[in-house]
Amino acid sequence: MEPEELVSLRDALLRARATGTRSVDYDGKRVTYATDAEMATALADLERRINASTRPRPGAVRFTTSKGV
């Protein structure tokens, strides 16, 4: 998923949690959470995915060796 899509999912979940709603609709699908703890876990997962997708990836690593001569 793209970072923008993850952010929109997170925002929808935060909005639902703040209003006390246990269901979230996205892309024509509905997800219903049984408890607030499930919603918190889903939010934490989305935050982790957002952070991982926006973090710059490491560049190439170049090794140089010599015989010490």
pLDDT in tens, 18-42: 999 998 887 788 989 999 999 999 9
Parent domain of 10: 3-54
Strand partners, 32: 23
Average pLDDT for 33-58: 89
65 located within any domain: no
- Look at residue 52 and tell me whether its pLDDT is greater than 80: yes
pLDDT above 70 for 69? no
**Rounded to whole angstroms, how far apart are CA atoms 36 and 15?**
13
Residue 18 domain flag: yes
List Cα–Cα distances, 45 to 7, 19, 40, 49, 52, in angstroms.
12, 20, 9, 6, 11
Classify residue 7: in a domain, yes or no.
yes
Residue 56 has pLDDT above 80, yes or no: no
CA distances from 10 to 25, 59, 62, 67, 68 (A): 12, 29, 38, 54, 54
